[in-house]
Amino acid sequence: MEEVGRIYGDVGLGQFHLTLQTPVERGDYLTVNDESHGEVLCQLDDLRRKSDLDLERADQLGRGADTPIHESLLGLARIIGYRDVQGLVRVPTLPFRPGAQVYRAEEPLIAKVLGLNHHSASGAYVGLLRNHNLRVELDINQLVQRHVSVLAKTGGGKSYLLGVLIEELLRHKVTCVIIDPHGEYGSLRQASESNGAHARFNVEVQGFASRIHEYSPDTSLNETAKPLTFSLRTLDPRELLTFMGLSNVKTFLAPLKKLLEEVGAVNPDYTVKDLVRAADRGEGPTLEVLHERLDYVEATQLLGPKGTSLNELVHKGEATLVNLRGVAPDIQEIVVTKIASTLFDNRKKGKIPPLFLVVEEAHNFAPQQGVVTCSRILKNIASEGRKFGLGLCVVTQRAARIDKSVLSQCTTQLILQVTNPLDLKAIAQSIEGLTEGMTEMIQALPVGVALVTGGGYHTPLFCEIRPRATRHGGESVRIVEN
């Protein structure tokens, strides 16, 4: 084993200081041999170069004087623990001795303590432990039962990572519904071009064309999608008000009900057009508003006589994309509300298989501030979905702007680079066991490296995300060719 340094100073139960003879990177795994428990896994949380150079001598140095500098490299390490005879991770109950040798941890110990050695039947392979050849596999049952968040700044690699996750869910035949505001996930149909990274990560390129179903309210723009419509007759009047963008139930519910009864009495197979005509015939300011809003709903073509059925939308073991590219924000909200509540209701009744609902740009659909139509159902799913086998995955570049109760329900968090201080604060508040050192590291993560918390692991770990088996659809548009 390679010795890297020695413990010095006061030694705590959770962390200790060490002098370093060999440069070690922040986040690297170390080990100390404990008298009673053998090798204990630790992680370097912080690094500092200490010197005897004071201000005065630094000044002299600046003026060309030759002055010797004594310096040492110091580290702060966090104790992760060891596996006891029952296989549980424990930390020693007595602090290590000052002067004890610290070694670079070898892979078998890292794998054993972190629980990385499994190549399990229910594991979603998302990448390799950073700087090691150890697979990071998230427990799929945990993902679906305990919710997931994917957090990073724009361009941080959220959509890429989500693509990796969906590939894994498809491989394991987990049913998924993906709210796709930018139409990025249709590329899951196509295999990626194979390169060196695929070999290094042991990933075979593959497309999922036959297992992707795509729907959109706007099929003229999104040509690969089938039309997504809702059935007018299965909507209750309150839901129809939501489609009409009218939140004032007190004023509009009764007149709308009356209108529906009148039109339904004449023709049970009425359409939105029939409602528009009937509202137009009526008089008074309320009916005028109803007429104007019904006219708007008519133009969206969201409400058809039949509507997209649940059987068309949800396919067992396959993925459905709800492509909202080019769709107005208010319509997006209505679509998400209706789909999320239909999935939740039918999951409760056991009419559809357990499934994973992915919401991209989730800060728009469940914001911390302001009211949007779909907030309530997403909050319900976050707090109660697990009881009914409805997993939620929220993806956002604004951790501070997404509803805190939703974020705190996500037991697995996949965090890529985040630099905004408010977002970092929100993340730190929602994750247990995130050290200051890790929070600092999140700000400097290179593209393709994620901090994984939860997912079946008891300690946060840095993971180099594996390459996509399918093509990534979220490439940024090139304004200038180089």
Contact positions toward ligand ADP, by CB under 6 A?
152, 154-160, 447-448, 465, 472, 474-476
Please identify, using beta-carbon distances, which residue of 157 and 437 lies nearer to Mg ion: 157
Asked if 308 contacts 228 with a C-beta cutoff of 8 angstroms, the reply is yes
Per CB under 5 A, does 216 bind Mg ion?
no
- Least separation in angstroms between residue 281's CB and Mg ion is 47
Rounded to the nearest 5 degrees, what angle is found at the Cα of 364, between the Cα atoms of 360 and 368? 120
Q: What tokens does 89 get? A: 């991770």
Binding flag, residue 159, Mg ion (CB under 5 A): yes
The CB-of-475 to ligand ADP minimum distance in angstroms stands at 5
475 binds, among Mg ion, ligand ADP, none (CB under 5 to 8 A by kind): ligand ADP
Stretch that binds Mg ion, among 140-148, 155-163, 265-273, 366-374 (CB under 5 A): 155-163
In the complex with Mg ion, the residue whose CB is nearer, 176 or 241, is 176
Instruction: Give whichever of 156 and 389 is closer to ligand ADP, judged by the CB atom.
Output: 156
3-class SS of residue 355? strand
**The one segment of 121-129, 228-236, 334-342, 469-477 that binds Mg ion by CB under 5 A:** 469-477
- Number of other CB atoms surrounding residue 269 within 10 Å: 9
Helix (H, G, I), strand (E, B) or coil at 241: helix
Q: Which is nearer to ligand ADP, 448 or 460 (CB)?
A: 448
Torsion of CA 348, 351, 355, 359, to 10 degrees: -70
d(CA 429, CA 439) in angstroms, rounded, equals 11
- Residue 210 touches which member of ligand ADP, Mg ion, none, C-beta under 5-8 Å by kind: none
Q: How far is the CB of 124 from ligand ADP (least distance, A)?
A: 15
Is residue 222 part of the contact set for Mg ion (CB under 5 A)? no
- Residue 474 CB, nearest approach to Mg ion (Å): 5
Residue nearest to ligand ADP (CB): 157
- Euclidean distance between CA atoms 482 and 78, whole angstroms: 45
- DSSP-based three-state secondary structure for 393: strand
| Cβ atoms of 225 and 214 closer than 8 Å | yes
Tell me which of Mg ion, ligand ADP, none is bound by residue 385, counting a contact when its beta carbon lies within the kind-specific cut-off of 5 to 8 angstroms.
Answer: none
Cβ 31 to Mg ion shortest distance, Å:
38
Which option in Mg ion, ligand ADP, none does residue 157 bind, with CB closer than 5 to 8 A by kind?
A: ligand ADP
Quick check: 147 and 392 in contact, CB under 8 A? yes
Q: What is the smallest separation between the CB atom of 468 and ligand ADP, expressed in angstroms?
A: 8
> Phi-psi category of 155—alpha, beta or left, where left has phi over 0 and alpha has psi -120 to 50?
left
- Residue with Cβ nearer Mg ion (326 or 474): 474
Residue 447 touches which of Mg ion, ligand ADP, none (Cβ within 5-8 Å per kind): ligand ADP
CB of 183 to Mg ion, least distance (A): 11
Element (H, E) at 348: helix 329-348
For residues 152 and 374, which CB has a smaller minimum distance to ligand ADP in the complex?
152
C-alpha closest to that of 263 among 254, 251, 276, 253 = 276
Q: CB nearer to ligand ADP: give 317 or 474.
A: 474
Residue 187 in the binding site for Mg ion (CB under 5 A) = no
Query: 282 or 474: whose CB is closer to ligand ADP?
Result: 474
Closest CA to 320 of 474, 178, 163: 178
Return the one option of Mg ion, ligand ADP, none that residue 329 interacts with (CB less than 5 to 8 A, by type): none
Alpha-carbon gap, residue 378 to 392, rounded angstroms: 8
Q: How far apart are CA 322 and CA 216, in angstroms?
A: 6
State the sign of the Cα–Cα–Cα–Cα dihedral 44, 45, 47, 50: negative
Both tokens assigned to 397: 């570049």
List the single partner that 448 binds among ligand ADP, Mg ion, none, CB under 5 to 8 Å by kind: ligand ADP
Binding range to Mg ion, per CB under 5 A, among 40-48, 74-82, 315-323, 467-475? 467-475
The token pair that represents 186 in the structure block: 């249709």
The pairing of strands 412-415 and 449-453 is antiparallel
Q: Is the CB of residue 142 less than 8 Å from the CB of residue 324?
A: no
Contacts with Mg ion by CB under 5 A lie at: 158-159, 474
